[in-house]
Chain A
Amino acid sequence: MHKHDMLIVGAGLAGLRAAFEGITAGLSVAVITKVHPLRSHSCAAQGGVNAAINKQDNWEDHAYDTVKGSDYLGDQDSIDIMCKEAPQAVLDLDDMGCPFSREDDGSIAQRAFGGASFPRTAYAADRTGHAMLHTLWEQSIKNGVQVFDEYHLLEITVDKKSGRASGAIAVNIATGKIEQFASKSILIATGGYGRLFHSNTNAMINTGDGIALAMKAGAPAADLEFVQFHPTGLKSSGILISEGVRGEGAYLIGKDGKRFMQKYAPNKLELASRDVVSRSEMMEIMNGNGEDGAIFLDVRHLGKELILERLPQIRQLSIDFEGVDPIDAPIPVKPTCHYTMGGIRTDKLGMSNYLPGLFAAGEAACVSVHGSNRLGANSLLEGIVFGKITGKEMVRYMTEEGKAQPATDTSDLANVQRDVANLKARKKEGGVRAHDIREKLTKDLDMYCNVFREEKTLLKARKSVEKAKSDFEKVYVDDKADEFNTDLLTTIELGNLIILAEGTVESAIARKESRGAHTREEYPDRDDENWMKHSIASWNHNKNGIELDYEEVRTTGNPKYAPAVRSY
């Protein structure tokens, strides 16, 4: 059995930033990750990271923008923490060697982003996440963090006596050996579950493993129904075209060649909040101003020089994956599943109130700084701020109330080994292919649980989830080997996705209002009286399904944060 003080699952920005806190505090830190750290999906973030580092800006405005952007579902205490800590968190990265783009005077350059009242998005060209991730990985090498590279999380274990999270069980992908990790605290930083939708901007690893397994271990998730559809995924593949492109001045145009955002957000236009822009695009498409289910992102007027200087990667993605050079032609784009606001429910510093010793940070967490809609460039920020803060809080926890080592039970390991062996032993005859279940489920969710939702379609989504659940009982794998069995692992990932599908659909059916990214056609208004609360989704082992409950939004009494009509 591996034994460490601090166990971190996931090696993206949040995980590596927390590891930095643990290792520099002198603790024994282990990071488990199913892909090499540099391949974590943080690397794909393009546009930038928000922080009020400019003298003319201030963190209170950033916090207000975030509360408003969240459509008043964000927890105000955590939002204050994030925005206040943002400048230092960005400067930390700069000190570590992150090559942020600069202004003439050497200060960190910033660009405009959606839903923000000030151009406060710091960036490193159009590969900000990539630059930040490399920097934090470099620090993990410098500080000697022990990384269990290509280890896949299978279970989060609990000490039944003390009720504390006690570690995890993971498989070494290369050998197939299932191993147990004991720790005093565990951080889930495994990202979101955007792969639940067929059309998405996400990496194939984004299957929400950590969230689903935390739910199974007794730490419920919150706000799973809030799924962000990014306004500019490439039409054919869903690959992301950054909001930074609109920050640089790009237009959204319809089939008629005309801009349309003035109809929906007369002030912020293309830079309104993402939920607003995605709904506007869908309206245009539904009204016949789209083409082949897409509208267009136009940068031609920015000129070749600016495109080559500031948006080189975007241009190449458009050429490689859509066959369009944006210098010459507008890029066909459509709303595409991009980010999941929901995640493991935590207190304002990142610990689960339901399972002591279990922490979450980044997209896997619902702290909640994004509420029902995340602002662009607040996710890299959440990763580095809460990686840092939750990391520090874990260090504190382990020196105070969490000082004792929780007990681990080797029968947990045996149970997981038995389950995996049983899955591998399933017969092809009478079985179902994981691929078929995944295709059906994700396409159905695209169809029935998208930007616009109504009970009728959501009930179809529920049916689809039920079908996936029962088919999954009969799922089989072709690959029976121990070594590098990706057939087995993608099947296990599908099992995690199905749990999150149920949470997403059930929470969406229950929420009878429209707020942020969740738009119910039959309840078009936001209903603060009844619904300014988080949906809490727990896993009930006896009923083998989701149970819903609710938690009030954490407010601070700041009068500026009082719910108001949200216009851009």
Chain B
Amino acid sequence: MATETKKTATKATTKKPAAVKKAPAKKAAAKKPAVKKVAPKKVAAKAAPKKASPVKKAAVKKAAAKAPSSKTVTFRIKRGEQVDGAFEARHEDFKIKYDDSTTVLQGLEMIKGEQDGSLTFRRSCRASICGSCGMFINNRSRLACKTKIKDMVGGVKENMNVPASGNIIEIEAQKNQPVLKDLVVDIQPFYKKVENITPFVQEGAETNADVDKTSFEQVNMVSNCIMCGACYSDCTAMVENPDFLGPAALAKAFRFVSDPREGQKTDRLKELSEKNGVWDCTRCGMCVDACPKGVAPMEAIIKLRTRSMNSGVTNNPGARHAMSFKKDIATWGVLNEPVMLLKTLRHNVIKQAGNALNLVRKGKIPNPLPFDHKVEGLNEVRDIFKELEKNPIDVETRAEDTGPGAG
């Protein structure tokens, strides 16, 4: 159980962040270097770039980067450690100076270096490629190295999802994982799930060794994943079912199903269609939003669903639900929910009896037997299905590698 204590703000630092330090080259500029490997400078300079000189644009950028660094922000950090198997938490405030280029990670490093060395977090590459510094910053999982302080303060920011509360940035550990200390979670459950999807190319009957330029387009879409755990942390299905494989592991699974060299594609699809697999996703989109690398795990999950149904893997609740859904709409223009539930869960529907009784009591279950109303424009609904059967939507369309941050 978490206990919360408060501590007052510690002293502010007056040092500039590392990012705005003076270029080390400056001092050497005074000298006349004499190096044999460097030719004299009087060679005609040709081949100038065709476009306009960079100077103006660069100067503008520079001006922006040199905005006064006197701004102060408070990091409100949820800290704590495991005591007798429970996480004991407290909030601590730290004040730091920042400028427009300062990242949350640089801020944390300043606090650790200058104010309190015991502040604990993971970090390594500081270039959004190693995935170490995923943490919950202003209500969303983000990479601290990629998140600029200026984007987290001072009200609503475009594409930043959640407005900051004034001049305070709230930071805590990622969700859906046990917290070990301060901002550090236990990453083992996350990685165990990745290990559980058989994360390597297997030989088999379905291996196709012939590859060409386009063979890995689908693979590339998810290969940007850096296993930072942001999607796992913010996954809403995970809250309900902690055994759910989760977005990152499923996106990794998609990478193998899509690899022409993989020999066991259908077996993989069968396994992924089972409990805790692709059908447990609620399609809420949080993973797409949280991903710092544009992987869009939810899209990979939806493709896995489509591919498994296309390969005949339909004998599972998720697929039956989807088929029943489609059939009802195509036939009646409206869902027959009790029947759909029966088709989805079959004899297991009995386990839902308690829920059903509750809903009946509240008048929330319509009469399943005779349809008591006709849907207007039913023919138009049917026409839509006919049209889709003639010209199906290609779910594989989003194959292009949109690059990091595109999500």
The contact of A36 among B35, B43, B46, B191, by CB within 8 Å, is B191
At the interface, yes or no: A282 with Cβ under 8 Å from chain B?
A: yes
Pick the interface stretch among B118-126, B277-285, B297-305, B375-383.
Answer: B118-126
Residues of chain A contacted by B333 (CB below 8 angstroms): none
Give Cα A485 to B180, complex, Å. 11
Q: Are A479 and B118 in contact (CB under 8 A)?
A: yes
Residues of chain A contacted by B182 (CB below 8 angstroms): 484
At the interface, yes or no: A39 with Cβ under 8 Å from chain B?
A: yes
Nearest-neighbor residue (CB-CB) of B48 within chain A: A258
Interface centre among A130, A312, A514 (most CB of B within 10 A): A312
Q: Are A43 and B25 in contact (CB under 8 A)?
A: no
Q: Are A519 and B212 in contact (CB under 8 A)?
A: no
Instruction: Assign chain B's interface to a size class.
Output: 35 or more
Residues of chain A contacted by B180 (CB below 8 angstroms): 174, 483-484
Nearest-neighbor residue (CB-CB) of A282 within chain B: B25
Q: Are A329 and B57 in contact (CB under 8 A)?
A: yes
Q: Are A203 and B29 in contact (CB under 8 A)?
A: no
> A-facing mask of B236-265, CB < 8 A → 1, else 0?
000000000000000000000001010000
Q: Are B117 and A433 in contact (CB under 8 A)?
A: yes
At the interface, yes or no: A279 with Cβ under 8 Å from chain B?
A: yes
Residues of chain A contacted by B261 (CB below 8 angstroms): 97
Q: Are B45 and A260 in contact (CB under 8 A)?
A: yes
Residues of chain A contacted by B213 (CB below 8 angstroms): 102-104, 106, 109
Q: Are A141 and B64 in contact (CB under 8 A)?
A: no
Give Cα A21 to B89, complex, Å. 45
Residues of chain B contacted by A142 (CB below 8 angstroms): 200
Q: Are A125 and B401 in contact (CB under 8 A)?
A: yes
Q: Are A198 and B21 in contact (CB under 8 A)?
A: yes
Give Cα A478 to B401, complex, Å. 45
Q: Are B33 and A286 in contact (CB under 8 A)?
A: yes
Size of the chain A interface, CB-CB below 8 angstroms: 114
Chain B nearest Cβ from A364, distance in angstroms: 17
Q: Are B220 and A293 in contact (CB under 8 A)?
A: no
- The verdict on A483 contacting B31 (CB below 8 Å), with A328-B57, A450-B24 known, is no
Residues of chain B contacted by A97 (CB below 8 angstroms): 200-201, 259, 261
Q: Are B25 and A262 in contact (CB under 8 A)?
A: no
At the interface, yes or no: A455 with Cβ under 8 Å from chain B?
A: no
At the interface, yes or no: A421 with Cβ under 8 Å from chain B?
A: no
Residues of chain B contacted by A443 (CB below 8 angstroms): 21, 24
The contact of B46 among A124, A262, A308, by CB within 8 Å, is A262
At the interface, yes or no: B52 with Cβ under 8 Å from chain A?
A: yes
At the interface, yes or no: A324 with Cβ under 8 Å from chain B?
A: yes
Q: Are B126 and A204 in contact (CB under 8 A)?
A: yes
Residues of chain A contacted by B199 (CB below 8 angstroms): 138, 141
Q: Are B41 and A330 in contact (CB under 8 A)?
A: no
The contact of A286 among B28, B116, B184, by CB within 8 Å, is B28
Q: Are A258 and B36 in contact (CB under 8 A)?
A: no
- The verdict on A257 contacting B28 (CB below 8 Å), with A237-B19, A328-B57 known, is no
Residues of chain B contacted by A323 (CB below 8 angstroms): 61, 64-65, 100-101
Q: Are A262 and B38 in contact (CB under 8 A)?
A: no
Chain B nearest Cβ from A413, distance in angstroms: 24
Chain B nearest Cβ from A415, distance in angstroms: 25
Q: Is the interface of B mostly helix, strand, loop or mixed?
A: loop
Give Cα A255 to B53, complex, Å. 8
Q: Are B118 and A257 in contact (CB under 8 A)?
A: no
- The verdict on A106 contacting B129 (CB below 8 Å), with A99-B223, A313-B403, A323-B61 known, is no
The contact of B81 among A41, A321, A483, A521, by CB within 8 Å, is A483
Q: Are A301 and B33 in contact (CB under 8 A)?
A: no
- The verdict on A236 contacting B38 (CB below 8 Å), with A97-B261, A106-B215 known, is no
Chain A nearest Cβ from B120, distance in angstroms: 5
Interface centre among B23, B118, B127, B212 (most CB of A within 10 A): B127
Chain A nearest Cβ from B34, distance in angstroms: 6
At the interface, yes or no: B267 with Cβ under 8 Å from chain A?
A: no
At the interface, yes or no: A447 with Cβ under 8 Å from chain B?
A: yes
- The verdict on A204 contacting B200 (CB below 8 Å), with A102-B216, A323-B64 known, is no
Q: Are B28 and A276 in contact (CB under 8 A)?
A: no
The contact of B123 among A204, A481, A519, by CB within 8 Å, is A204
At the interface, yes or no: B312 with Cβ under 8 Å from chain A?
A: no
Give Cα A484 to B21, complex, Å. 30
The contact of A452 among B28, B45, B50, B117, by CB within 8 Å, is B28
Chain A nearest Cβ from B160, distance in angstroms: 13
Q: Are B28 and A255 in contact (CB under 8 A)?
A: no
Q: Are A446 and B220 in contact (CB under 8 A)?
A: no
Q: Are B35 and A481 in contact (CB under 8 A)?
A: no
Q: Are A102 and B211 in contact (CB under 8 A)?
A: yes
Residues of chain A contacted by B146 (CB below 8 angstroms): 320
Chain B nearest Cβ from A486, distance in angstroms: 5
Q: Are B211 and A236 in contact (CB under 8 A)?
A: no
- The verdict on A257 contacting B29 (CB below 8 Å), with A35-B124, A39-B131, A97-B200 known, is no
Residues of chain A contacted by B129 (CB below 8 angstroms): 43-44, 127, 130, 313
The contact of A236 among B19, B39, B128, B181, by CB within 8 Å, is B19
At the interface, yes or no: B393 with Cβ under 8 Å from chain A?
A: no
* Interface residues in B84-98 (C-beta closer than 8 Å to A): none
Residues of chain B contacted by A478 (CB below 8 angstroms): 116-118
Residues of chain A contacted by B211 (CB below 8 angstroms): 102, 106
Give Cα A258 to B18, complex, Å. 30
* Interface residues in A85-105 (C-beta closer than 8 Å to B): 96-97, 99, 101-105
At the interface, yes or no: A60 with Cβ under 8 Å from chain B?
A: no
Give Cα A519 to B215, complex, Å. 46
The contact of B125 among A41, A438, A524, A525, by CB within 8 Å, is A41
Give Cα A102 to B215, complex, Å. 8
At the interface, yes or no: B339 with Cβ under 8 Å from chain A?
A: no
Residues of chain B contacted by A316 (CB below 8 angstroms): 128, 403-405
* Interface residues in A7-37 (C-beta closer than 8 Å to B): 35-36
Residues of chain A contacted by B81 (CB below 8 angstroms): 481, 483
Chain A nearest Cβ from B10, distance in angstroms: 12
Q: Are A39 and B120 in contact (CB under 8 A)?
A: no
Nearest-neighbor residue (CB-CB) of B22 within chain A: A293
The contact of B31 among A102, A205, A286, by CB within 8 Å, is A286
Residues of chain A contacted by B31 (CB below 8 angstroms): 286, 452, 521
What is A's interface to B at a CB cutoff of 8 Å? 35-36, 38-41, 43-44, 96-97, 99, 101-106, 109, 124-125, 127, 130-131, 134, 138-139, 141-142, 149, 174, 198-199, 203-205, 235-237, 239-240, 251, 253, 255-260, 262-264, 266, 276, 279-280, 282-283, 285-287, 290-294, 296, 298, 300-301, 308-309, 312-313, 315-317, 319-324, 328-330, 332, 334-335, 433-435, 438-439, 443, 446-447, 450, 452, 477-481, 483-487, 514, 519, 521, 524-525, 566
What is B's interface to A at a CB cutoff of 8 Å? 18-29, 31, 33-41, 43, 45-55, 57-59, 61-62, 64-65, 81-82, 100-101, 112-114, 116-118, 120-132, 146, 180-182, 184, 186-188, 191, 195, 199-201, 210-213, 215-216, 219-220, 223-224, 226-227, 259, 261, 401-405
With A36-B191, A282-B28, A329-B61 given, can you name 9 additional A-B contacts, CB distance below 8 Å? A99-B223, A105-B212, A125-B220, A130-B223, A236-B65, A293-B24, A313-B129, A334-B25, A480-B118
4 A-B pairs with the lowest CB-CB distances in the bound complex, closest first: A293-B23, A312-B403, A435-B113, A257-B53
